[in-house]
């Protein structure tokens, strides 16, 4: 430990290693008394407080699967991957889809939080992120019928070398294709495992696993929690009439039935995660061909059902919705253009103005990101691919928007963004 006097280089208090203290936090706009150019702060860099937690800016890192865990355990890859966002000024970071049970992973290399041995490495990552002044949460998930699949780059290699084009990971590839579950016995697409229909006993088991993972998150020290109910994974499978054909109280044509299990799980999580921000990510639409509804029959999940679902989430005390789309219908046709999912966030914000709403989907330009918030379409923006391309996006955005923000102490000398 250094004997250097604290007034020369103050350290982050209460942590086991020395980190220079950043004041204000990296990515925070300087007060106008420090930087006269900050008389007016663009919305993207205005702090936001959610259930008592203040986030320094509105640039949130979306969950990005890395397919790099060791039997569900995070590695130093995750420390570097996640830690880099914290040192570059993101307001909040959401760790990748983290399975609550082993068979709920997307791939054999997915992250997990079903056992206490997975806590220490995640705790190390969370501690580091907090030392850099960012908030961090974990996206709890169950892959449902899309479980036991190969990592994306393996699928591509198979298609190129064997024309196999398969997605399923077999037993000798550390997969579990005979232990895949969904609301109904309907495969996502050719080449995917055929799921078994969840029994009520299995539904209870999965719900308890979510709660057990929440308790581990408390030990890890997460700031927030994101529940994955999007992209064709288990909870979104229950919501959709395309994947949920049950004839009991948990599915079928009845929207109330299809929402019942996801809402039950989220309610239990809200009760367990009582005093911290709770986010829910879900699909606004499915991008299947045809209408959302014909007469009295729901044909696919869409924006009208999403608005109803959002209202129910508000009743449960959910603090933020992360509005995504797609991933539940193998033949989906998505018109990918800049900001293609933002209108869905804007619609749900209009329907439920009191709720904090996050927009995502090909948000790549600082002015675009700022305008989404400025125009009231959403309260925060979630970025993923653009942050992989430009990890300094928060600093770049500040420069382009004309606001002075705090870079990391270690980068002040070299930084072109300073007061």
Q: What is the set of active-site residues?
A: 233
Strand 59-61 relative to strand 53-55, pairing? unpaired
Side-chain-side CA neighbours of residue 19 (13 Å)? 19
68-94 burial by CB neighbour count: b if 16+ within 10 A, else e? bbeebbbeeebbebbbbbbbbbbbbbb
Beta strands in 284-319 (DSSP E): 293-294, 297-298
Q: Is 322 helix (H, G, I), strand (E, B) or coil?
A: strand
Pairing label, strands 297-298, 293-294? antiparallel
| Alpha carbons 308 and 310: distance in angstroms, whole number | 5
Residue of 269, 243, 272 lying closest to 258 (CA atoms): 243
* Rounded distance between C-alpha atoms, residue 360 and residue 328, angstroms: 17
Q: Count CB atoms within 10 A of the CB of residue 34.
A: 12
Tell me the DSSP string of 376-408. TS-SEEEESHHHHH-TTHHHHHHHHHT--BPPP
Residue appearing with tokens 């198979």: 158
CB neighbour burial string for 104-128, b if at least 16 within 10 angstroms, e if fewer: bbbbbbbbbbbeeebbebbbbbbbb
Q: What sections of 178-302 are H helices per DSSP?
A: 200-220, 234-239, 255-272
Is residue 130 helix, strand or coil?
helix
Helix axes 200-220, 119-131, angle to 10 degrees: 50
What is the chain's alpha carbon radius of gyration, rounded to the nearest angstrom? Answer: 22
Contacts of 139 (CB under 8 A, 6+ apart): 63, 94, 95, 96, 97, 98, 226, 227, 228, 281
Ramachandran bin of 368, using left for φ above 0, alpha for ψ from -120 to 50, beta for the remaining angles:
alpha
């Amino acid at each position: 430990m250094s004997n250097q006097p604290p007034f020369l280089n103050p350290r982050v208090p209460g942590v086991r290693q020395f980190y220079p203290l950043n004041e204000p936090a990296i990515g925070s706009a300087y007060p106008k008394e420090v930087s006269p150019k900050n008389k007016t702060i663009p919305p993207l860099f205005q702090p936001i407080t959610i259930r008592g937690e203040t986030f320094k800016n509105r640039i949130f890192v979306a969950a990005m699967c890395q397919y790099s865990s060791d039997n569900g355990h995070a590695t130093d890859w995750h420390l570097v991957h996640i830690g880099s966002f914290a040192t570059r000024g993101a307001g909040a970071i959401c760790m990748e889809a983290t399975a609550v049970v082993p068979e709920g992973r997307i791939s054999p290399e997915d992250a997990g939080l079903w056992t206490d041995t997975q806590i220490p490495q995640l705790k190390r990552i969370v501690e580091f992120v907090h030392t850099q002044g960012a908030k961090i949460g974990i996206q709890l998930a169950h892959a449902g019928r899309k479980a036991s699949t190969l990592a994306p780059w393996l699928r591509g290699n198979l298609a190129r070398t064997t024309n196999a084009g398969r997605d399923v990971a077999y037993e000798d590839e550390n997969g579990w294709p005979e232990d895949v579950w969904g609301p109904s016995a309907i495969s996502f697409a050719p080449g995917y495992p055929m799921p078994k229909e969840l029994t009520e006993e299995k539904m209870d088991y999965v719900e308890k696993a979510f709660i057990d993972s929440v308790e581990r998150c408390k030990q890890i020290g997460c700031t927030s929690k994101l529940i994955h109910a999007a992209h064709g994974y288990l909870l979104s499978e229950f919501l959709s009439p395309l994947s949920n054909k049950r004839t009991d109280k948990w599915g079928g044509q009845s929207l109330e039935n299809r929402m019942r299990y996801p809402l039950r799980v989220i309610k239990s999580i809200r009760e367990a995660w009582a005093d911290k921000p709770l986010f829910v990510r879900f699909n606004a639409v499915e991008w299947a061909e045809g209408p959302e509804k014909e007469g009295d029959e729901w044909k696919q999940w869409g924006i009208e059902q999403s608005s109803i679902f959002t209202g129910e989430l508000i009743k449960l005390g959910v603090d933020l919705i992360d509005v995504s789309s797609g991933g539940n219908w193998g033949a989906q046709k998505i018109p990918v253009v800049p900001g293609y999912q933002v209108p869905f966030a804007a619609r749900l914000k209009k329907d439920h103005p009191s709720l904090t709403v996050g927009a995502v989907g090909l948000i790549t330009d600082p002015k675009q990101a700022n305008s989404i918030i400025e125009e009231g379409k959403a309260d925060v923006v979630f970025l993923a691919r653009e942050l992989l391309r430009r990890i300094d996006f928060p600093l770049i955005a500040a420069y382009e928007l004309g606001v002075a923000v705090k870079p990391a102490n270690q980068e002040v000398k070299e930084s072109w963004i300073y007061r």
